[in-house]
Copies of this chain bind each other. A is one copy, B any other.
Amino acid sequence: MVQLRSYLGGQWVAGSGSPQTLLNPATEEPLATASSDGLDLRGALEHARTKGGPALRALTFAERGARLKAMADALQAERDRLLELGIANGGNTRSDAKFDVDGAIGTLLEYSQIGNALGSKKFLVDGEGIQLGRSARFHGQHIAVPRHGVAVHVNAFNFPAWGFAEKAAVALLAGMPVLSKPATSSAMVAHRIMEVLAGKKILPEGALSLLVGGAGELVSLLGAQDVLAFTGSGDTGARIRSARNVIEYSVRMNVEADSLNAALLGPDVEPRSDMYELFLKDVVRDMTQKAGQKCTAIRRVLVPQTLLSSVKEDLIELLSTVKVGDPADEDVRMGPLATASQLSDAREGVARLGGKLAFGSLSPFPHKGFFTTPVLVESPGEAVHEHEVFGPVASLLPYSENPAQLVARGNGGLVSSLYSEDQGFIEQVVMDIAPHHGRVFLGHPKVELSPGPGTVLPQLVHGGPGRAGGGEELGGARGLAFYMQRVALEGSRPVIQKLTG
């Protein structure tokens, strides 16, 4: 069986101790082992800070962007193998695996283009120069420079390729070295990506490291110039955020955690209309794609009371056509959950929601694998606004008035979506729900090839307040700010203008 190693300090290293076994979640067949016990994390971070950081900062944005392009090309060349690993180790259908891998490649390409556009600078000039006194000589100019630490990325199990790439692309373009830690259970994809990138020596030494296995003392080793971007559960996020050194040294953190994303059908929408069909399609896609294991998936389906029975009936009909099984079979539309504990968490979560099952069942499957059916809950309890069930599970919620208030009860989310053609209703709802979200998706049947609310695009910010962790990633060049320090230069205009070029 393959023993996955970590790439730290510019070399492949193996942990000692008893390893974790990575499985095929459809068959429970062991595929690989991983351990990070005994690895020199302090040395790895220092190598990234002292070798990778200066090397990246010596490059222009365009040069860093060119490295991202080379990374995208390398992943493209390895695409088939990465899809296979996603299917085997992630429980992904081929379509799910493409969503992950192609998302990774697309994000690298997008940031490569941003680098190209930023050109020959090595730091950002932020806004216009400012006259500070009566005379034009007293001058201010904000700039943003790469931080001198290491960017630690702790990723979730559900997007081993995209999660790696969307964080790494932004950090590397900003000029910070990356130490990426994939979730262990699905680490084979990220591990293969690291093998490819290290083999081709696309990045300067120390610019990219990969820790496979437990995080150990990693977080406790971070200091004032380091940053930590975490995607995962709210509980783990809270634990990291409470770490003594994180608080004492103001380690800059970005957390992307739980979210009870809502899809809201407007009262103006007629059954069978194009808008209605789009709404159904988006709900079913979000429930079943990656077996609902997307932080952006629709969890709460808000429909006018008058449309409740119609929507319920139609969703049941659509969900009943979804074939669940081993994603290695081509006609399977939904694979298993990623691990046994994800499956038991999802089952417990459905029980916690209360109400009853309009579709699906919690019964174990009569064969191996971490399978569940899609589950549509009706008449759930208050937990529907408080507890994220990370699986193919959504709840139907009827409303008669003020649906925005219902959406806001999620207490902060990544994305909610609105399906309506009543501009007045749209404006009212958007303004009411916007402060609670990082993104608001407005469904419209005339938008061709719309990916729906569940797809994160590199051009738009991803993150959300409150329960969602209070973070923000991506958003084009906006994402760079997290990895840079904004600093005001104050003094004599000619001196500052020479400095900023």
Contacts and interface: CB of A to CB of B under 8 A. Distances in A.
B491 A431 contact: no
A234 B249 CA distance: 10
A341 interface: no
Contact of A436 (B225, B453, B457, B459): B225
A149 to B, nearest CB: 8
B490 A142 contact: no
A448 B412 contact: no
A318 B435 CA distance: 54
Interface stretch (A132-140, A160-168, A181-189): A132-140
Interface stretch (A13-21, A211-219, A469-477): A469-477
Contact of A224 (B223, B466, B471): B466
A203 interface: no
A438 B499 contact: no
Interface stretch (A286-294, A354-362, A390-398, A422-430): A422-430
A487 B434 contact: yes
Contacts of A147: 435, 465
A426 B487 contact: no
Contacts of A487: 434-435, 437-440, 461
Contact of A247 (B130, B241, B471, B492): B241
B466 A434 contact: no
B430 A224 contact: no
Interface of A: 123, 127, 130, 132-135, 137-138, 140, 142-143, 145-148, 223-225, 234, 238, 241-242, 247-252, 255, 408, 411-412, 423, 426-427, 430-431, 434-444, 446-450, 453, 457, 459-461, 465-472, 475-476, 478, 485-492, 495-496, 498-499
23 contacts: A127-B478, A133-B450, A135-B448, A138-B447, A142-B461, A142-B475, A224-B412, A249-B466, A250-B465, A250-B467, A423-B495, A434-B487, A437-B487, A438-B487, A439-B490, A442-B490, A442-B492, A444-B492, A447-B491, A460-B488, A461-B486, A461-B487, A461-B488
